[in-house]
Every structure is written in structure tokens, then in C-alpha cells.
Homo-oligomer: A and B are copies of this chain.
């Protein structure tokens, strides 16, 4: 098997939902810089990037989040704690912001994007996805979550995804109330503690033939 194939599978086999982080180990700046860039490079629906990623580094905020995180100590012990927040709705201004950005990055007239703009407006603002805008934006956060977990594993960084949290309490502590973003999921990142017995447990997946069907 080629090196790339082996490396990828080795990384995905190595990762696990880390239960105990070594609170003394921090992700080096270079590695963290790569992970942030990887996060920003996440693909999203129409390229709209309807999210913000909060890196909670203030120990007081982490301590405040803990009781609203099913008591999972990863929140306070990890090196970097990422809270994924998704847009609550989508407005025409969001679509205009994207077309302006495309126009600037690609040096093309914004008017040349009118067809694309109308398509987005008739879907994520005024159309079917507009009706479920927060859920649609939540799904985009989950693409970012999947991307970031794989990226972290490739760089030897441990992670623990956390759906077990109380979004409304997170929103209060992170001062998201009154903003167009709401907490949807979190990812603790850092390095596993030597004593985390979960690290050595066999990974549990269903058979490939149960999950993947050729039709």
C-alpha cells in the first residue's frame, strides 16, 4: 500500500475521542496555525461559510462552560477548545458579502456574479434552505468538525468532539445572545494523558459491508 494511503489510515486509526487530556501539553503555535487554516479552508454550501469558530482560551470562561458540558473535564484540560457556532438565519447582506468577497479575490466585476447571487437568494435566504437556515448552517459546522478532526489526527493532535453541551448556556457565557450565531458543537484539542485508558481500547466500527453498499 502506498505511503499516503497508509499514513491516512494510520492517523484515523490512531485518533479516538480523548477522555483525559494532559493539561500541561500545549499545541505548538505552528501546528495550531495549520489547524486554524485548515478550519478556514473547510468547504461549505455555496461557499457561504455561515459560521464562526470561537477558540476559548480564557480559563474563567472554560470553567464556566464545564457545568454545561456534562462535566466533561476535557473543556478545561485541553490545549485549545473550539466552539462551533452557526448562523441563526441568512440575509441578503450575507449573500452580498460573499459576492463582494469573490469579486475582490478573483478581480471580477460583482455584476458578473448576479446569476450565482440570485441562486443563493432563492435558496438559502428566501427558499427551502432559508426556512431551515440555522440547521443548514449547523450542517456546515459539522463539515468543519469532520475536516478539523481528520486534520488534527494527521498532525498527531488529539481531539474530543462534544455534542454533550447545553447550547443556550454556552451562548450566554460566550456572549452570543443578540448575535446571529449560536453554539452547535465543540471540539477539545490537545494531547492525551498517559492515564487515559480509552486510548488503548480497540476501535469499534460496524463492518464495512454494513455501512458501504454498492448499488
Contacts and interface: CB of A to CB of B under 8 A. Distances in A.
A202 B41 CA distance: 12
A204 to B, nearest CB: 5
For this chain, the copies found in one complex come to 2
Contacts of A47: 204-205
Contacts of A168: none
B143 A53 contact: no
A206 B135 CA distance: 21
A147 interface: yes
A87 B205 CA distance: 16
30 contacts: A1-B34, A2-B30, A4-B154, A5-B33, A5-B34, A9-B34, A12-B147, A13-B41, A17-B43, A36-B212, A39-B212, A40-B206, A40-B208, A43-B161, A49-B211, A52-B211, A53-B212, A55-B212, A56-B215, A57-B214, A98-B204, A101-B206, A105-B204, A106-B202, A135-B135, A138-B139, A140-B142, A143-B161, A150-B151, A154-B154
